[in-house]
Amino acid sequence: MTMPHPDLVAVLAGILGVLVVASTIGFVLQRKLSPDGSNAVVENLNDRIRAWWIMVVLMGLALIGGKTGVTLLFGFCSFAALREFITLTDTRRADHWALAAAFFVVLPVQYYLIWIEWYGLYSIFIPVYAFLLMPIIAAARGDTDHFLVRIAEVQWALMICVFATSHVPALLSLDIAGYEGRNVLLIAFLVIVVQISDVLQYVWGKLIGRTKIAPKLSPSKTVEGFVGGALSATAVGAGLSWMTPFTALQAAFLSLVIVLLGFFGGLVMSAIKRDRGVKDWGHLIAGHGGFIDRLDSVVFSAPIFFHLVRYGWSAV
């Protein structure tokens, strides 16, 4: 393993600094407002901060591990997300082989294609090949009840949890002149902008949030929170242009795209949760719900960010 790039070390040190500050604030708040653990907002905040520590440490290790680390981490994220998604579908006995294929063939093959950087195939493997072959497996079992619903659910699950998610490690395959060996920082940039945007929307919403933006889908999201969060996250993204191949203006534009897609992705995933009558996708991370609850904004922005950067900056 080679030494991590100094820029990556700087980014990770910066994030750790933010977390130390957050943990200190959380500790003080708990001492003052919730010494007996009775203040739900403070307890939830501290749960979130603890979960952030775990996520940042895992993400940091993956980024230091380079291509192997990132591919393994997001491969596992895809697996955990698919497990949560399929749990909420109406799939049944007759889908058993199709589902087994989704988990144990389609997912590993997609990540293998990402690993060998075969852009031409990983871009269409799930949208074309899985799309056509999975219904054949399901049809072979002969159960036609709700057939269209079932195959559509499996395809959607694969597109979201595997195809879209796999575009995060795919960023490593881009070949950007003058940016060699620093591609992991593109991933750091994407993830930081998305997560900062989520946090800032939450903060702005708590501070000045009045007008609900989508009361049916997500009662906690407000116009003020969204606008404040989006603008300040775009500003943070522009400020991070030093770790990217972009100018400050370009970084601001890409950040805005990431933030908007992340926001609307969150709404889409909320709509699915409402439809299924659940509050969270799963229970893996305390204070955050499931994997998909944390991944949804990254998932929606990753493929578009990937393609924008590929067409705008990459030589391959």
Partner 1 sequence: MRGAGAGLAGALILFFARFITAVRGRWAGVEPTDEQRIYFANHASHGDFVLIWTVLPRRMRFTTRPVAGSDYWLKGRLRRFIGCDVFNAVLIDRDRGSRTSDPVAQMTEALDAGSSLIVFPEGTRNTTDARLLPFKSGLFHLARARPGVALVPAWIDNLNRVMPKGEFVPIPLICTVTFGAPLRLTEGETKQDFLARAEAALLALSPKANAS
Summarize as ranges the residues that interact with partner 1 (CB under 8 A): 79-80, 82-84, 86-87, 91-93, 96-97, 99-100, 103-104, 277, 282-284
Question: CB of 81 within 8 A of CB of 165?
Answer: yes
- In the complex, what is the shortest distance from the CB of residue 57 to partner 1, in angstroms, rounded to a whole number? 20
Residues 6+ apart with CB under 8 A from 84: 281, 282, 290, 291, 292
How far is Cα 74 from Cα 69, in angstroms, rounded to an integer?
Answer: 9
- For 286, the token pair is 């305390």
3-state secondary structure 36-65: CCCCHHHHHHHHHHHHHHHHHHHHHHHHHC
Q: Which is nearer to partner 1, 27 or 97 (CB)?
A: 97
Q: Which is nearer to partner 1, 99 or 243 (CB)?
A: 99
Q: Which is nearer to partner 1, 64 or 80 (CB)?
A: 80
- In the complex, what is the shortest distance from the CB of residue 276 to partner 1, in angstroms, rounded to a whole number? 10
- In the complex, what is the shortest distance from the CB of residue 70 to partner 1, in angstroms, rounded to a whole number? 21
Question: CB of 82 within 8 A of CB of 102?
Answer: yes
- In the complex, what is the shortest distance from the CB of residue 104 to partner 1, in angstroms, rounded to a whole number? 7
How far is Cα 189 from Cα 194, in angstroms, rounded to an integer?
Answer: 9
- In the complex, what is the shortest distance from the CB of residue 106 to partner 1, in angstroms, rounded to a whole number? 13
Q: Which is nearer to partner 1, 291 or 300 (CB)?
A: 291
Q: Which is nearer to partner 1, 206 or 283 (CB)?
A: 283
- In the complex, what is the shortest distance from the CB of residue 142 to partner 1, in angstroms, rounded to a whole number? 15
Q: Could you give the C-alpha distances from 125 to 110, 133, 198, 311, in angstroms and in order?
A: 7, 11, 31, 20
- In the complex, what is the shortest distance from the CB of residue 103 to partner 1, in angstroms, rounded to a whole number? 6
Q: Which is nearer to partner 1, 99 or 170 (CB)?
A: 99
Cβ neighbours, 10 Å, residue 238: 20
At 222, give phi and psi (nearest 5°).
Answer: -125, 160
Q: Which is nearer to partner 1, 104 or 242 (CB)?
A: 104
How far is Cα 316 from Cα 310, in angstroms, rounded to an integer?
Answer: 7
